[in-house]
């Protein structure tokens, strides 16, 4: 072993990266030891690799996946700092959404703690009786992508609203003609990779720069509808009421389901949020 070869144990101590993590980074090609003893299998690193190890540690601490870390390291090697900045901006947006979600959870728990004698009343939910509605075609501005509900819905709503309120679209007198809505295209609940579409009914000549946004027409549907009052995390009560109603009345349901948001969680308490759930149906 030469003087500048650092055994994995010592390298782990110097970088505060576990040996398990170092072996993973080796397999992923992120931090490959300069030398591997073919007889013992021991890994040896060099002093310049300490900096690489610290970069990986910092990126993972900031919440980047190993695939993203690899892309960031490649971009740095190529001097492509625009890619690095874009990645950082995306991560900042994700973190802000996560912080907002955690703050909402904090508010719910604080309310529960203040009413310890009536804890479950904090989570009471109200759902109207189901009704059949004939919903006409809707011209909407839409954007669709896959992600988690907590992060992706809020992100897409912000992007859609920003587009409509842009100076050019305001000069063109673009108007919203209904509440913003979430369309779920999955047949089952997904923690990650959910197929999410946000749509906002609009009128006027709309200018759209984002290539993943589109102006489209949602088809007319016959749907069972309920109005749910309460925090977003309890909206399942509305779906349960519709599913029960459909089963009782021998109806078949279809995706995508729709959630229409009538007020803003930044402006009203969570218990006063109003959400209409619509699910397309037809007689079996």
As a whole number of angstroms, the longest Cα–Cα distance in the chain is 80
Q: What is the pLDDT of residues 140-162, one digit of tens each?
A: 999 999 999 888 999 999 999 99
What per-residue confidence (pLDDT) applies to 107? Answer: 67
Long-range contacts of 9-13 (CB under 8 A, 24+ apart): 11/45, 11/49, 11/50, 11/53
205 or 98: which leads in pLDDT: 205
Cis peptide before 52 (omega within 30 of 0): no
| pTM for the full predicted model | 0.60
DSSP 25-51: HHHHTSS--SEE-TTT--EEE-THHHH
Q: How far apart are CA 216 and CA 141, in angstroms?
A: 7
Q: What is the pLDDT of residues 57-95, one digit of tens each?
A: 999 999 999 999 999 999 998 999 999 999 999 899 888
Average confidence (pLDDT) over 214-218: 96
Q: How far apart are CA 251 and CA 137, in angstroms?
A: 22
Beta bridge partners of 124: none
Q: How far apart are CA 165 and CA 25, in angstroms?
A: 45
What per-residue confidence (pLDDT) applies to 169? Answer: 93
Given a contact cutoff of 8 angstroms between Cβ atoms, the answer to whether 5 and 50 are in contact is no
Average confidence (pLDDT) over 201-220: 95
Calculate ∠ Cα 86-89-91, nearest 5°. Answer: 110
What per-residue confidence (pLDDT) applies to 1? Answer: 47
Q: What is the pLDDT of residues 88-135, one digit of tens each?
A: 998 998 888 778 767 766 766 676 666 555 555 544 558 899 999 999
Q: How far apart are CA 130 and CA 133, in angstroms?
A: 10
pLDDT beyond 60 at 191: yes
What per-residue confidence (pLDDT) applies to 133? Answer: 92
Q: What percent of the chain has pLDDT over 90?
A: 64
234 or 168: which leads in pLDDT: 168
Q: How far apart are CA 167 and CA 198, in angstroms?
A: 21
pLDDT beyond 70 at 10: yes
- Within 8 A by CB and 6+ apart from 42, the residues are 7, 8, 36
The number of beta carbons lying within 10 Å of the beta carbon of residue 96 is 14
Mean pLDDT is lowest, of 7-11, 40-44, 143-147, 180-184, for 40-44
| Mean per-residue pLDDT over the chain, rounded | 88
What per-residue confidence (pLDDT) applies to 224? Answer: 95
Terminal C-alpha separation, the chain: 76
What per-residue confidence (pLDDT) applies to 119? Answer: 52
Given a contact cutoff of 8 angstroms between Cβ atoms, the answer to whether 95 and 155 are in contact is no
pLDDT beyond 70 at 238: yes
> Among positive and negative, which fits the CA dihedral 166, 169, 173, 176?
negative
Q: How far apart are CA 39 and CA 36, in angstroms?
A: 9
What per-residue confidence (pLDDT) applies to 183? Answer: 96
């Amino acid at each position: 072993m030469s003087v500048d070869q650092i055994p994995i144990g010592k390298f782990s101590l110097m970088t505060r990266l576990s040996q398990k993590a170092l072996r993973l980074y080796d397999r992923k090609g992120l931090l490959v030891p300069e030398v591997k003893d073919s007889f013992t299998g021991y890994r040896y690193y060099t002093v310049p690799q300490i900096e690489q190890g610290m970069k990986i540690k910092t990126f993972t601490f900031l919440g980047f996946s190993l695939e993203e870390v690899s892309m960031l390291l490649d971009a740095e090697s190529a001097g492509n700092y625009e890619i690095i900045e874009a990645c950082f901006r995306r991560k900042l947006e994700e973190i802000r959404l996560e912080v907002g979600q955690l703050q909402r959870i904090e508010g719910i728990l604080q309310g529960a703690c203040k009413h310890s004698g009536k804890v479950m009343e904090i989570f009471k939910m109200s759902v109207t009786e189901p009704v059949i509605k004939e919903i006409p075609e809707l011209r909407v501005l839409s954007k669709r992508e896959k992600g988690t509900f907590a992060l992706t819905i809020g992100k897409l709503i912000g992007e859609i609203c920003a587009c409509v309120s842009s100076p050019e679209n305001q000069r063109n007198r673009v108007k919203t003609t209904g509440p913003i809505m979430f369309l779920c295209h999955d047949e089952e609940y997904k923690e990650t990779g959910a197929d999410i579409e946000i749509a906002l009914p609009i009128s006027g000549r709309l200018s759209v720069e984002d290539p993943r946004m589109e102006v489209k027409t949602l088809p007319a549907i016959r749907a069972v509808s309920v109005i749910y009052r309460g925090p977003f995390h309890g909206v399942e009560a509305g779906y349960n009421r519709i599913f029960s109603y459909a089963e009782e009345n021998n109806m078949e349901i279809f995706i995508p389901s729709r959630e229409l948001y009538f007020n803003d969680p930044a402006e009203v308490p969570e218990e006063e949020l109003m959400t209409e759930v619509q699910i397309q149906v037809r007689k079996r």
